[in-house]
Structure 1
Amino acid sequence: MIPELRREFNASFNERSYQRFRERLDHRCRSPIPFRIAETPLFVPRTFQRQCEEAAVALALQSHSPHYLTASDAALKPEYTVANQTDRSTFLTVDFAIAVDEFGTMVPRLIELQGFPSLMGFQLAYAELALEHYALPPALEYVNGGHSRAEFVALLRDAIVADADPENVVLLELDPWAQKTRADFTMIQELLGIEVADIRAVKKIDRVLHYERDGTWIPIQRIYNRTIVDELERRNIELPFNWNDDLDVEWAGHPNWYFRISKFALPFLQHPTVPDTRFLSAVDEIPDDLDNYVLKPLYSFAGAGVIVGPTREDVSSVAPDRRDLYVLQQRVRYADAIDTPEGPTKAELRVMLIWHPKEDAPRPVMGLVRMGRGRLMGVDQNTKQRWIGAGCNFYEPDV
C-alpha cells in the first residue's frame, strides 16, 4: 500500500532469504510456526493506519455502551458466566478488511471484533525480526498507537501481571503447547515471566486455583485467559472447577467479554466501517442476492462455520431455534491491496487494544495481518498458495 516500499521489497525478494526468515522466526519462538508465514509484511500508509486505529477505539467504546451491555446479557451462556465481571474488556481485537469503496479508494471495513486477547507477543517478535532481516527502513513503526516498544511492554505487563508476583500469574489454555498459538505463549512468558498452564491441570483448593511446578502447588492470583470455550465444548472437556464458582482470582481478560463482544455485537454497531449486519432470526425474507452476503455463527473461532455467499439452502437449513446464533452480514469486497510477483493479494488488518481500568478509552497496541486470495482469510485457509498467510504491518511514522 506504500508503492515505493512495495516495489523495493518485491525487487529485492528471493526465496532463500524468505526461507531463512522462516527458520529464524521458528528459532526465535523456540518451536516451528504451525501456520503459513507470508512472504511479505504489509506496508500501510499512516493515514490508513490511523483510520483503523481510530475506528477500532470507536467500536470498542460502542460495545461498552449501557444500551449494548444490557442487550449483550443475552449473549452470555449460563454455564460459562463468570462472577465478578470487570467493567470493561481488558483486551479487544478488531479485524478490518482492506476494502475498496465506490470511488476506488481503499478503506477499512469491519469484519468482526472480539473481547479477547490475540497474538501480542508473537507479533512483536515477528515484526522486530522482519524489520532486521529484510533491512527495512528503521523509521517504520509496528507498535500501534504511536507507542514505543517499552511503552507497549509496560502496558502489556500492567494488563496481565498488574501488581501481582509473576509467579502467581498464569496463562491458562487447553493443551497450550499443542495450540497453533503456542509461539505467542512462549513470547509472553519471555516478556513477562509468567507461567503457562493447561486449564485441565489446575487444582481448586477452597476458593483458590493452583498450578503445579516442580511438585509444589502454587496459588494463582491472576489468570491471563486464553481458553476458547468453543474448543472445550467441542472436545467435551471436564475442568477441575466450574466457571460459575466464586473463585478468589483476578481475571486478566474476564471470560464474559468473549461472549459479550463478539459477532453478537455486529448488528448493534453504527459506524462508517461497519457493513449491514442482522441476526438471522431478524431476517424475515431471505435476500435474492445471497452472493453479496456472509453467513456467520456467533460463537466460532478462526473462521469455523463461516459461509461466504451462502445458498438459500445454507440459510434455510439453520434450525429456527438456532437462528439467533447466526448473523447475515453484507459481504465486504476486498481490494487487491498488495502487489506481489504472483499477482495481487487481499488482506485483513487486526488492531489489538488494551484497556486500562483507569483510562477512558482503550489503546491500540499491536497489529496483525492476514493475506489471502480465497473467500476466507484465516490462517487455516489458502495454505497451498504463495504470498499469502500471516503477516505484520509496518506503517509510516508521523512527520
Structure 2
Amino acid sequence: SSDSNVSEPLPVAETFTFESDDAPLSKVARLDTMVTLLDAVNFGADLDSMDYLEDRDWAPKEEDERNVSQLLIDQLEFADVVIINKIDLADEPSVGRIEALVHRLNPHAKVLRSTKGDVPLESILNTGLFSMEEAARAPGWLKELRGEHVPETEEYAVTSFVLRSHRPFHPARLNALMDSKLFSAGAVAASKSVAGAPGAHAEGEAEEAEEAAAAAASSEGLSEATKAVMRGEAGYIVRSKGIAWVASGEGGMTYRGDWSHSGRLVGLEPAGRWWAAIPKENWPEGMTPYGWVDEEGVGDRQTEIVVIGMGMDKERVEAALRTCIVTDEEFAAGPAAWAEWEDPIWGDVDWEEHAAEQDGEEDEEEHGHDDCGHDHHSHDCGEEGCDECEEDGHSEGEEDDAEAEA
C-alpha cells in the first residue's frame, strides 16, 4: 500500500505494469497485496462527507477536484485486504455494519479487525493476493451488473438491486431525489463511540434531517410515498453505479450519463454518445449495441444502475426511483418538449463544448468511439479512469467506457 492517505489504488498498481527503456519497476519489485485501512470510528462520517481533498489539506496538487467519499470507495473496492481499525473505540454493531458493507462492496477482499493497526504480518505480506485482472473485476457493483450472485448480509440488511429502464429520467424529479436523505451512508455511521462521545455523523443528523425535509417539501410531482423514501424512511442507498438516460433535450438524446455515487455525493456526468445517435454506417461491422431496443427514439438509450443499500426496502426504493422516470405522456412529448423543462442536472452543460471534447478524445482512441477521460462538472463526482467496456457491459464487441476501478 502507499504511504499517502490520498493515493488512488489503480494508478499505483499500474506503475508496476509500465514498460520503459530503463528497467521497469516490475523487474525489481512486485505488487503483492493492496491493503486498505479503515477507521471504524470515522468511516461512516467520511463516507457521508461532502468534503473535497483540498478542504482537508489532503490535495497533493492544486485544482485537485477529488472528494473524500469517492477516494475512500476507490481504495476500499480495489483492496485485497481491508483492515477495520480502532475497533476498541467503536461499538460492536457499528463494526458489524462496516464489515457487512465492506463484504458487499468488495466480495473478494479479506477483512480483518484490528486495534492500533495490529494484525499478523503474514496476513498482509507475501500473500500473493494481488491480481490486476481480478482487481478490475472485483467491485460488488460490477458483479451485480454482470448478474453474478453476491450474497446479501441479512443481519445488517445490506441488499442490492439493478434499476433498468428504456425510458429517461425527468431531470427535476431526479434531482430532488438525488439531493434527499435517501442517498446517504447514515446507516453505516456509529451514533456513539464506546467512550460515549458523539460520532461525527451524529452531530450533523439534525441538520441533515432538516435539509431532507426541505428537499421533500419542494419536490413537485412526487408522491407522498416517494417523499417518505426521500426522508430516509425506507433505508439508505450507500453506493450506486451505472449509466443513465436523462431527458435533457437533444443533449440527453445524444450523450449517455455516467452515474457514480458514494455516501451523499451523486455524480451524473454527460459522457460518450449513445450508439443510437451515431449513423449506422459508422458502427463497427457486425456490432450490436448493448441493450438495443428496436423502438423509435430508444435504441441503446437506457438506464442501468446497480444500487447497494443498508436497511433498504428494495421495493419502496426502486418505486421511488421509477417515479423519476418520465411518464408515457412525457415520453411522447419528445426531446423538443424536454428541452423546455427545468433541468437542474444538465441545464448548464455547453453541449458544443462537450461534443468537441468527445470528438477530440475519439480521435485519440484507436477504436474511434471511446470516451475515457471525460470531464466532470456536475453533481460532484470527481472520479476518473476507464477500463474495458466488456466489464461494464455497455456495448458488445467494442470497447466502451467502464470505470471498473471505482
- Choose between structure 1 and 2: higher strand proportion: 1
Same fold (TM over 0.5): no
Q: Tell me: higher relative CO, structure 1 or 2? Use CA pairs within 8 A at least 6 residues apart.
A: 1
